[in-house]
Structure 1
């Protein structure tokens, strides 16, 4: 259904702890993924940018490379990008080769990024496509070394054919637009910003009304990066149709020879050749099936392809010889139509032969396995050192492993495929090469050999026909072996004999050690039985302790219940005492109010006495006749003073009595 083809849910970003962006030209980093970079700025994710060319070609570069670089720096400042580096590769001349791949590999490693953003392989501009494949191959090599790197391809001049993530950039539209406005030299030529935002608007089609703008990405994890031929299938077909040729430096020409049975996997095999970093290849495809084989065309990616069709089925050995006669160049190598190469396969083998002009061939490691859909399931790895003695009795070099000097297959004495051999014809060919010089091993896997369940000779099968062909091969080479080869066989047999003798001695030693160990084991068994008896006694003691512990636990429970009961009773007594104290406090408060009232009454009496004294003083000024009145008044004063003293004494006594009763009540237990 539709969600299998494109996301129907937006993502806020692509998870990462550090990001490195590859931009073919200044402005591609903003037009392609400026919204995502703004999201990273908000999330404080560090971002660095590599600008591969400075965009100096033609009308777009008329302002000069320096001006375009300044525009990228200004945009980077607005998006919080940490650093911008410029490779200054030629505009419209970026090359996908080992030099640029190694540079990308170093840049990724030094950045510490776990996510790399790059243009997609479906782009129109040749620099965009070249940068895409440079990054994919650099990432593939890093993943092969154990990196957990991921690559996200963004879109610019052409929509992605496959989309894995749609990032909602609605809230970052202003930030992206502000950064885009820094590229004034380009916006003066065309409204690139409006075109990019139109693409972003279109990408919101499946995301609901709330998402106004989105950026599309194809995400490549370690599995996808380990087999870039699967990424390349649609791209190689498109390059084939458009005949996108590239300029080739003056290097040795390599002929890739394919005996095709018209299998559906031929396209994948050709795509793996189209992806080679080595720049000077020529492909020869021979129709070994006969009628019904599809013409593969005239190119595989940017490499020329020659198709040989004799209109009839051709045996494998004859097909190989026809291809050897037709091929041109310095080196040649075979590829079956159900196998494939890693992108650096040819370059590795050519470099090895360059370093050793005396060697006749070079070979790499090959992984054997089976494809389950798009999942590669490896079963065995051929990656052993070169051993001419071993090659005499075992073919451990798959046919797509070896690159050889084509001149050795020329002339009457040249190496040829033996038509009398129905199978093992490649083994016989390797033996012919080995007679003429050394084969160089290039360590590490860079080719893949797929199990063919539809027919053919599988490497680990031992059928009667294979046994017969092996005997035929042995008989052929037994009479042709030179003294040197005979010595190699003897040395190999001697090595095997000594290894077998050593293994037998070790086996005897192991058997003796085994008997000794058996005695030790018997003694240990007896010790174990004694320990079992002791363990049983300990178990009984533990059971008794358990019963005692259970009884103690019951007593503890009973004590806890008693303590809880006593505690509850004491808490009730305390509560009652608290209530009694509160009552006493109320009584004391009432008495304090009474004392306050008595104090007020005493003050009133004092005022009366003062008034009377003033009256007496006034009367003293009067006639002597008033003395009787004064005496009478003195008597009244005396009585009043006596009454006041009695009242004050009574009040004091009451207070003291009340205090004693309160203290006594507080001290008595309930």
Structure 2
């Protein structure tokens, strides 16, 4: 049996699936099975997968049921000691599996390991850093405050962890990964690989409607998590809600164009400050405020052009990690 099961849910992923699979094939750690769950694709996803010659690749096709269910179907097929997930438009650096497996083996009591993330645009040309934190051990408090794992393509879990926690919540349309990590965190130790190994692709398409869905599901996850939280942690709820609004404001300012995006971001930042006034002192709030002021002063078009130039400069420095 392989040491690692890599689960890739794929729905109409023809534009990116080969690049994603290639990033797994390039791993310096080769003892893995690659399970692709074709979630009812109607494009060329299945045809492209059929062109791959790799005995480690296993493709299972089902009717479309959404990302959480696809991950659960992958778990049901997995035979590895360690299980990790990769969305069909994201990428890994070549040492992702090697370093995460080593981290779990070096800490037998740990149930999960995560790495740092770089966020890239649709074309994989512009990058900006995601969360680069190093929370280890009991991370339950930090997990309640925000999804510092940043992406469902990041974490690696022991099989025993998944057997204890169960499967992803298939009723969620977004944030199902954060919900899962919140269920892992109370009882399992986390370890970190302090290196950017996840290249998370953010699509700008229909982001306005996606933000509304994300907002609704964030609230569901936060409400559920704090209902279960011990009394000494319930006081963190407003801070968690504040962080949620900052995160969504960031998406508005980065991926939605026009004056309406600025207005939506302003409303979210106002809610964030009202819920947790100390958020005014945070670096993230200062950056978001700077971006918002740029849009209001220069116009959305000129501000976005300037911010893209800054992003390109970052990209030039970070291309070496791919």
Q: What is the TM-score with the length of structure 1 in the denominator?
A: 0.33
Q: 1:415 Cα shift?
A: 2.5
Pair 1:471 & 2:219 matched: yes
Match of 1:450 in 2: 201
Q: 1:385 aligns with which of 131, 134, 138?
A: 134
Match of 1:414 in 2: 165
Alpha-carbon spacing, 1:501–1:425, altered in 2? closer, same or farther (3 Å): closer
Q: 1:333 aligns with which of 84, 87, 90?
A: 84
Alpha-carbon spacing, 1:366–1:303, altered in 2? closer, same or farther (3 Å): farther
Do the aligned residues in 2 keep the contact of 1:281 with 1:303 (CA within 8 Å)?
A: no
Alpha-carbon spacing, 1:295–1:304, altered in 2? closer, same or farther (3 Å): farther
Q: 1:493 Cα shift?
A: 8.2
Match of 1:288 in 2: 39
Q: 1:298 Cα shift?
A: 6.8
Match of 1:516 in 2: none
Cα deviation per residue 1:562-589 (whole Å; 9 max; x = unaligned)?
xxxxxxxxxxxxxxxxxxxxxxxxxxxx
Question: In structure 2, how many angstroms separate the alpha carbons of the residues matched to 1:415 and 1:282?
Answer: 21
Do the aligned residues in 2 keep the contact of 1:341 with 1:448 (CA within 8 Å)?
A: yes
Which of structures 1 and 2 has the larger relative contact order (alpha carbons within 8 angstroms, sep 6+)?
Answer: 2
Question: In structure 2, how many angstroms separate the alpha carbons of the residues matched to 1:403 and 1:501?
Answer: 31
SS at 1:441 equivalent: strand
Q: 1:291 Cα shift?
A: 3.9
Question: In structure 2, how many angstroms separate the alpha carbons of the residues matched to 1:273 and 1:415?
Answer: 25
Do the aligned residues in 2 keep the contact of 1:273 with 1:300 (CA within 8 Å)?
A: no
Do the aligned residues in 1 keep the contact of 2:104 with 2:112 (CA within 8 Å)?
A: yes
Q: 1:409 Cα shift?
A: 2.2
Question: In structure 2, how many angstroms separate the alpha carbons of the residues matched to 1:346 and 1:335?
Answer: 11
Alpha-carbon spacing, 1:294–1:302, altered in 2? closer, same or farther (3 Å): closer
Alpha-carbon spacing, 1:499–1:450, altered in 2? closer, same or farther (3 Å): same
SS at 2:127 equivalent: strand
Match of 2:57 in 1: 305
Q: 1:502 Cα shift?
A: 12
Cα deviation per residue 1:118-147 (whole Å; 9 max; x = unaligned)?
xxxxxxxxxxxxxxxxxxxxxxxxxxxxxx
Question: In structure 2, how many angstroms separate the alpha carbons of the residues matched to 1:314 and 1:501?
Answer: 38
Alpha-carbon spacing, 1:364–1:336, altered in 2? closer, same or farther (3 Å): same
Alpha-carbon spacing, 1:266–1:501, altered in 2? closer, same or farther (3 Å): closer
SS at 2:56 equivalent: strand
Pair 1:314 & 2:65 matched: yes
Unaligned runs of 5+ in 1: 1-249, 504-670
Q: 1:491 Cα shift?
A: 7.6
Match of 1:277 in 2: 28
SS at 1:319 equivalent: helix
Question: In structure 1, how many angstroms separate the alpha carbons of the residues matched to 2:20 and 2:56?
Answer: 15
Alpha-carbon spacing, 1:419–1:302, altered in 2? closer, same or farther (3 Å): closer
Alpha-carbon spacing, 1:301–1:331, altered in 2? closer, same or farther (3 Å): farther
Unaligned runs of 5+ in 2: 243-274, 282-322
Match of 1:73 in 2: none
Q: 1:428 Cα shift?
A: 0.7
Q: 1:441 Cα shift?
A: 1.3
Do the aligned residues in 2 keep the contact of 1:389 with 1:492 (CA within 8 Å)?
A: no
Alpha-carbon spacing, 1:267–1:382, altered in 2? closer, same or farther (3 Å): same
Question: In structure 1, how many angstroms separate the alpha carbons of the residues matched to 2:172 and 2:104?
Answer: 29
Tell me which structure has the larger Cα radius of gyration: 1
Question: In structure 2, how many angstroms separate the alpha carbons of the residues matched to 1:388 and 1:302?
Answer: 39
Question: In structure 1, how many angstroms separate the alpha carbons of the residues matched to 2:51 and 2:168?
Answer: 27
Q: 1:266 Cα shift?
A: 0.3
Q: 1:385 Cα shift?
A: 2.0
Q: 1:380 Cα shift?
A: 2.9
Question: In structure 1, how many angstroms separate the alpha carbons of the residues matched to 2:55 and 2:24?
Answer: 8
Alpha-carbon spacing, 1:443–1:501, altered in 2? closer, same or farther (3 Å): closer
Cα deviation per residue 1:631-664 (whole Å; 9 max; x = unaligned)?
xxxxxxxxxxxxxxxxxxxxxxxxxxxxxxxxxx
Q: 1:335 Cα shift?
A: 0.6
Do the aligned residues in 2 keep the contact of 1:361 with 1:438 (CA within 8 Å)?
A: yes
Alpha-carbon spacing, 1:428–1:492, altered in 2? closer, same or farther (3 Å): closer
Q: What is the TM-score with the length of structure 2 in the denominator?
A: 0.66
Cα deviation per residue 1:69-98 (whole Å; 9 max; x = unaligned)?
xxxxxxxxxxxxxxxxxxxxxxxxxxxxxx
